[in-house]
Amino acid sequence: MTLAQQMLTLAHEAKEAARVLANQSSAVKNDVLRAMADGLEREMPALIEENEKDLAATRERDLAPAMVDRLVLDEKRIRAMADGLREVAALPDPVGEVTRMWRRPNGLQVGQVRIPLGVIGIIYESRPNVTADAAGLCLKSGNAVVLRGGSEAIHSNTAIGAVLRRELERYNLPAAAVQVVTTTERAAVLELLKLEEEIDLIIPRGGEGLIRFVSENSRIPVIKHYKGVCHTYVDADADFEMAEKICINAKVQRPGVCNAMETLLIHKDIAETFVPRIAQAMRAEGVEMRGCPITREFAEVKEATDEDWGAEYLDLILAVRVVEDMDEAMDHIARYGSLHTEVIVTRDYRNSQRFLREVNSSVVMINASSRFSDGNQFGLGAEIGISTTKLHSFGPMGLEDLTTRKFVVMGDGQVRE
């Protein structure tokens, strides 16, 4: 069989499995999820042994220590995967929800009902826990999943997949509901991305390079975010103490993630007092500031160049710009932002409402740290990803985002005149 045929067969089996999965009750799906969790804990020694093979292979290559660390499966991480599946079992099932229903003048009852999307393809890197996390969310929402992890985690992913598939079979469900691509050829991804008849949605998870590769080569709809360039705008009327606390948290609490602040915008009326204050606070936290000319009048910081606006540092670096007013701040965000998360700190009612209304990023906040921009923090349950493109979903994505809605119509013999 050619690689193309292999991928087609695998995706086609997933599509058949999806039809079966779509009609399972929540009770059955939850039982399977909990059985999968137990299975992972039971198979812990075998999983660690397979993970050892992946780790051994990295020693022959020159991988960054952070990347190797992400690859490790130990008892704690396997228990965390299992608990993740149990948490998904405890979430409400989105499938079958009637989101609205109404009656037409001719007596037809028309409504919309949530259904699974069908087959979800997940293309990801390094972390083997994604295998269980993504499979769990897809199963709960009634979808089959095709998982294609990185070649560096191939033994770990295959072993986790085998445990999940065994539990599906024990419940007389098709193992093909969780398909793990075991070939490490990159061409396999290209073949998968062509299968628009079999796969309904692709979610890439990883660095910007992977995401661009997937989205440029896919015939299938892709939900993605390239990067998070989050802005905090401190308004003329802000409470300085609150503004400082929010800015420090947004920049420092976990600088390497997409919802950390990358650019700080400050109203010119408060530059003289707020710039020195935040510069001192940032310095104390080890943050390197890069400022516009006005910023540099009030604090000794490096000069920001054009590349700093719109940069995603993922590090203890912060671009700072003093703006004329809120309109200039919003123009800056529209020009350099990534549609991820933007924050205003203000006590002014009118400005808070205008910012909320006029800034159309996927998450817009008043007086809170951008670090809250996350499915778990919002209470959506486990997060399957975040979308900064506007189609289908925009912002953090939970179970509901793995569904669509069909129309249902109940009549008693109506025909059209």
- List residues near a second copy by CB under 8 A: 19, 22-23, 96, 102, 104, 108, 110, 115-118, 200-201, 216, 219, 221, 239, 242, 245-246, 248-250, 253, 334, 356-358, 360-369, 371-373, 377-379, 389-396, 404-416
Q: Give the largest Cα separation in the chain, rounded.
A: 78
In the complex with a second copy, which residue's Cβ is closer, 34 or 405? 405
Structure tokens at 136: 């769990």
In the complex with a second copy, which residue's Cβ is closer, 59 or 357? 357
In the complex with a second copy, which residue's Cβ is closer, 206 or 221? 221
User: How does 321-355 read in b/e, with b if 16+ C-beta sit within 10 Å?
Assistant: bbbeebebbbebbeebbbbbbbbbbbeeeebbebb
Dihedral sign for Cα atoms in the order 80, 85, 90, 93: positive
In whole angstroms, the minimum distance from the beta carbon of 178 to a second copy comes to 20
In the complex with a second copy, which residue's Cβ is closer, 9 or 112? 112
CA distance 378 to 402: 17
In the complex with a second copy, which residue's Cβ is closer, 78 or 223? 223
In the complex with a second copy, which residue's Cβ is closer, 30 or 369? 369
In the complex with a second copy, which residue's Cβ is closer, 109 or 184? 109
Contact between residue 154 and residue 128 where contact means Cβ atoms under 8 Å apart: no
Contact between residue 278 and residue 244 where contact means Cβ atoms under 8 Å apart: yes
In the complex with a second copy, which residue's Cβ is closer, 106 or 280? 106
In the complex with a second copy, which residue's Cβ is closer, 348 or 372? 372
Report the half-sphere exposure of 308 (CA within 13 A, side-chain side): 18
With tokens 């929540």, the residue in question is 26
In whole angstroms, the minimum distance from the beta carbon of 26 to a second copy comes to 13
In whole angstroms, the minimum distance from the beta carbon of 210 to a second copy comes to 17
Secondary structure, 3-state, 309-346 = CCCCCCCCEEEEEEECCHHHHHHHHHHHCCCCEEEEEC
CA distance 328 to 265: 9
In whole angstroms, the minimum distance from the beta carbon of 41 to a second copy comes to 29
In whole angstroms, the minimum distance from the beta carbon of 48 to a second copy comes to 31
In whole angstroms, the minimum distance from the beta carbon of 110 to a second copy comes to 5
CA distance 53 to 101: 54
In whole angstroms, the minimum distance from the beta carbon of 313 to a second copy comes to 19
Count the residues in the chain: 417
Of the candidates 31, 38, 40, the one whose C-alpha atom is nearest the C-alpha of residue 171 is: 31
Structure tokens at 325: 């007013």
In whole angstroms, the minimum distance from the beta carbon of 398 to a second copy comes to 11
With tokens 């059985």, the residue in question is 35
CA distance 379 to 167: 29
In whole angstroms, the minimum distance from the beta carbon of 91 to a second copy comes to 15
State the pairing for strand pair 317-323/261-267. Answer: parallel
Structure tokens at 197: 């008849």
With tokens 């919003």, the residue in question is 330
In whole angstroms, the minimum distance from the beta carbon of 378 to a second copy comes to 5
Would you list the DSSP string of 213-265? HHHHH-SS-B-------EEEEE-TT--HHHHHHHHHHHHHS-TTSTTSEEEEE
In the complex with a second copy, which residue's Cβ is closer, 60 or 412? 412
In the complex with a second copy, which residue's Cβ is closer, 298 or 394? 394
In whole angstroms, the minimum distance from the beta carbon of 196 to a second copy comes to 9
